Amino acid sequence: MKIKRLGFISKKTEHAGRVAKDAIAFLEKENEKKGFDLLFDAPTAKYLNLKESFEEKEFAKKVDAILIVGGDGTFLHSEMVYPGIPKLEINTGTVGFLANLDEHGYFDGLRLLIDGKFKIEERMKLTVDYDGKTAQALNEVAVHAKNVSRLVTLKVNSDVFKDTFAANGAIFSTPTGSTAYSLSAGGPIVFPTIESITLTPICPMSATNHPVVFPANHSFHIESLDREIMISVDGQIDEDVKSLEIYKSKFPGKFIRIYEENIWEKAKKKSSI
């Protein structure tokens, strides 16, 4: 697959901006030989003082893939705004679990991208329905009390799992999100292409409330029995809710993979930061 129209998104920081300008200069030089369109979303173009850009709806229609310069938060925000479009991240952040390129020595990776020497890896996402609204999560849906320092009694029902427990909250994560918030809360690392949903209680009162990995075809109904609750969806949406349903999304995220990665080695490397 050759990319004819490559979208470009940068985090709005001085560091990411420097890397973005270098990447743009490299891509424009390559464009003279390879012939592809480099398109910018409006916030990126404004931050980098570029002349031509596209608003969200038009940008989403025009691009075949998106190159992201930033950290995992930038990737997650881009996936929420432009779901389903294949994405590749040049990591300029601290963690970079979602990235396939590092800010040092990424030119060779971009050459392979332009030449179509990559694969697209699909990752399952979650759908969360709450109070008449719907959102999609690539990493996780976290449920907690509005006052995050207080315990909340959560009632969780699925096809085979019915439990009520007191904790600071609960995280429902995808395999991709198993190395994010869930891992910090004591959850397991799950190979990213396995389809499953992990429930990780946050600081539970009972020692018997351990993380549980469920088949991806399970759905969950969650409500609070005592306090008002909030949800956080990939750290991008934070809203008060009364109850919610979580289940596998019909629409996967699409990762551009130029280099093969060992998730276990990556986790060990990132955990030492």
Rounded Cα gap, residues 82 and 162, in angstroms: 35
Which tokens is 154 given? 């959560």
Angle in degrees, CA 175, 167, 151, rounded to 5: 140
Give the separation between CA 184 and CA 54, rounded to whole angstroms. 37
Out of 22, 41, 72, 163, pick the active-site residue. Answer: 72
Per-residue CA distances from 129 to 74, 106, 148, 165, 170 (Å):
24, 39, 22, 22, 16
Strands (E), the chain: 5-10, 37-40, 65-70, 87-91, 101-102, 119-123, 126-130, 133-137, 140-145, 152-157, 162-167, 169-173, 196-202, 212-215, 220-224, 229-233, 237-241, 243-248, 253-257
The torsion defined by the Cα of 43, 47, 51 and 53, in degrees rounded to 10, comes to -20
Is there a catalytic annotation at residue 64?
Answer: no
3-state SS assignment for residue 263:
helix
Catalytic machinery residues = 72
